[in-house]
Amino acid sequence: MIGEDWGAVIGYQLAARHREHVTALVFAEALFPGFGFEEHTALTPENVSGGMHLWHLGFYFQPDVPEMLIAGHERELITYMIKFERSRPDSATPDAIDEYVRCYSMPGGIRAMLSIYRAMLVDAEQNRQAARRKLDIPVLALGGSAFIGDRNESQMRLMAHDVTGHVFDAGHDLAEEVPDEMAGVVLPFLAAQSAAAA
């Protein structure tokens, strides 16, 4: 199972709930609700100077207001977030941005995205419950030096016994910013797990 950002948190829950179906987990550039994610929403000098003041979480959590303000401005929001979260903003091709805009502009698109954030308090409790029994599968925790970095590995050590970490010279969107470098780390990890299972 490979997940990046919210996909990594969902991948963790899949591995925790369906242990018989997941033999290895790649957890990339995500913070865990219930294990420090919420602290990054605070307006503190440390969060702001370290580039980890996740101001948008509180905004997204409010009912109806974000939908009203974002509607018709999906491209502006996406472009801003890519610039804010990536160390290589040019890694987002015009076609990729167009696809993000198309999806978020669909009926219910913004609300669906916001619902992920609005479920954080439930996610936090589910993560705390799942962490009571650490994963016994190999986990590869990947971070971007300009965003979450080695915190991916330190978080996963709370959730799993066998964790390997790797930090790339990148921002938040590893698969788009450093696809070749990411593949160079992920593919050998998965191949080793496949060989061990054979």
Read off the pLDDT of residues 129-165 as tens digits, 9 standing for 90 and up: 999 999 999 999 999 999 999 999 999 999 999 999 9
pLDDT value of residue 5 = 95
Mean pLDDT calculated for residue range 25-31: 97
Looking at 3.40.50.1820, 3.40.720.10, 3.30.420.40, 3.30.450.270, the CATH number of the domain 2-197 comes to 3.40.50.1820
Q: Is residue 146 helix, strand or coil?
A: coil
Cα distance between residue 34 and residue 46, in whole Å: 20
Tokens standing for 15?
């591995």
Quickly state the pLDDT bin for 189 (edges 50, 70, 90). very high
> Strands (DSSP E) along the chain, which ranges?
2-4, 25-28, 135-144, 160-168
Query: How many residues can be counted in the chain?
Result: 198
Q: What is the pTM of this model?
A: 0.91
Out of 16-30, 45-59, 140-154, 160-174, least confident range: 45-59
Percent of the chain with pLDDT over 90: 81
SS3 label, residue 143: strand
What are the residue boundaries of the structural domains of the chain, listed by start? 2-197
CA distance 197 to 69: 50
